[in-house]
Structure 1
């Protein structure tokens, strides 16, 4: 089949998911001789639209993994926004070196229900949003080489006149969300945790501008809405004036550093 446009759609609060998605899309566009276009779903204003794609588009749809699933506050928005018309799609789940859980299968089911035809899919390890020590430096050269090989395989699939949807488990109920643990192995309860604003804040407002939930008030710079712990505000702040101090959250991060620094493997479905 002829692909005229490779479209990258991503939710990427700290940049890792975007980097993975764009790396794959760039390779695919070159191999297919297609135009390339990017669509961010990261900020609230990005998610006010509906994105419709056609049969001659190839969509690379990328989401981070939160607790082994798609982010629960974003999955309904993905379903509302993304519309395909027998559009080939490659769902990507980007996980922070712990586990992709059941997120990729959830993503496949969601896009298929939206009119897309999955032709391949992957779970890719990346630096964890909570700590640079977890998945340090990823995606690295090895990951990018694997993505290049994946792109070549996808291009071969799309070169066929008839394409069958990806074969995967559509019947088993999705696994529950992972329960975060503290260093002592008990559940870490930080659902209501929010970043703390420190005295060295310069009031630049970048945290409010970049909050994917629009939950930081521009005047006070306090979190008044839902916090999904994405770390966008913490990482974008030039003064390092935001941090999480919740004890359960910090214990969970320490547990991840202790148990999840070994290199996690990527998974490719073709």
Structure 2
């Protein structure tokens, strides 16, 4: 089976990227496709302006991070514009060790509606976007070994099944509501409008501008936001001066609770 392998991902802190590329590379090796893997990194906003389509000769490994238990709502329009045209797809979500809730089934459904035949799905764990200690340094070697084995299982399925079966993944339909943090009184709080602050350690290197997936950080004044913040963590984790931070009480309380309540290691879940 000669197929073109495509790796496509939204990955502000590069955790989803690692898993997607490992799966794509090992599918390519296992199937001896002899083709170069095409990579589409749609993390930055300009890339999401370009239409993307595939053919029945393509295999797509598509990965996104989980935000509040769902597919990030800022990606829905873009993801819905991708055309499958009967190509094969592997759906991958990556979450910060709490839960992926209905993100995987939602991504699976989007791909099916777009004309893809989804043959496998996986939920992997990466360092939480809010934290440097929750799922620290994941995906780690164990996660990547699981991703490698998963790719081998996918390749075997594609090479041995004459009529390749679609996959059933875990999740609810209708989908659960977005996960909401709570305040100390136990009432839900909305942290969507919380934005990062910048301290005096800033060297104006502009790295935060270049990594923001919403293009929201002002180039002339990096203390200023011109758009929304999705709390992806890229500007904070990639700032060499550690000058970016959040000071919202609700945000910090939620971050602390996540770090305590979900400290126990979760493992990837795979669906074939």
The answer to whether the superposition gives a TM-score over 0.5 is yes
Q: Give the Cα–Cα distance (whole angstroms) in 2 for the partners of residues 7 and 183 of structure 1.
A: 45
SS of the aligned residue for 2:230 comes to coil
SS of the aligned residue for 2:202 comes to coil
- In the other structure, the counterpart of 2:126 is 126
The reply on whether 1:259 has 2:255 as its aligned counterpart is no
- In the other structure, the counterpart of 1:157 is 157
Which deviates more, 128-137 or 38-47?
128-137
Aligned match of 2:243 in 241, 244, 262?
Answer: 241
SS of the aligned residue for 1:44 comes to coil
CA-to-aligned-CA distance 1:189-245 (integer Å, 9 cap, x gap) = 322110101112111111112110011111111112111011111112111111111
Displacement of 1:25: 1.0
Q: Give the Cα–Cα distance (whole angstroms) in 2 for the partners of residues 183 and 31 of structure 1.
A: 51
Displacement of 1:182: 4.4
Displacement of 1:69: 0.1
Query: Unaligned stretches of 5+ in structure 1?
Result: none
Q: Give the Cα–Cα distance (whole angstroms) in 2 for the partners of residues 37 and 168 of structure 1.
A: 26
Please tell me whether the aligned partners of residues 3 and 58 of structure 1 are also in contact (alpha carbons under 8 angstroms).
no
When normalised by structure 1's length, the TM-score is 0.95
Which deviates more, 235-244 or 164-173?
164-173
Displacement of 1:167: 3.3
Q: Give the Cα–Cα distance (whole angstroms) in 2 for the partners of residues 263 and 183 of structure 1.
A: 26
After superposition, the Cα gap between the structure-2 partners of 1:190 and 1:172, relative to the gap in structure 1 and judged at 3 Å, is closer
Query: Unaligned stretches of 5+ in structure 2?
Result: none
Displacement of 1:184: 6.0
Please tell me whether the aligned partners of residues 104 and 122 of structure 2 are also in contact (alpha carbons under 8 angstroms).
yes
- In the other structure, the counterpart of 1:79 is 80
SS of the aligned residue for 2:135 comes to coil
What RMSD over aligned residues (CA atoms) do the two structures have, in Å?
1.6
When normalised by structure 2's length, the TM-score is 0.94
Displacement over 6 Å in runs of 4+:
none
* 1:1-270 matches, cutoff 5 A: 2-34=1-33, 35=35, 36-80=37-81, 82-159=82-159, 160-168=161-169, 172-182=173-183, 185-221=186-222, 222-270=224-272
CA-to-aligned-CA distance 1:131-167 (integer Å, 9 cap, x gap) = 1211122112221221122111111111122212223
Please tell me whether the aligned partners of residues 104 and 170 of structure 2 are also in contact (alpha carbons under 8 angstroms).
no
CA-to-aligned-CA distance 1:91-125 (integer Å, 9 cap, x gap) = 00000011001000000000111111000101011
Q: Give the Cα–Cα distance (whole angstroms) in 2 for the partners of residues 231 and 164 of structure 1.
A: 37
Q: Give the Cα–Cα distance (whole angstroms) in 2 for the partners of residues 183 and 140 of structure 1.
A: 33
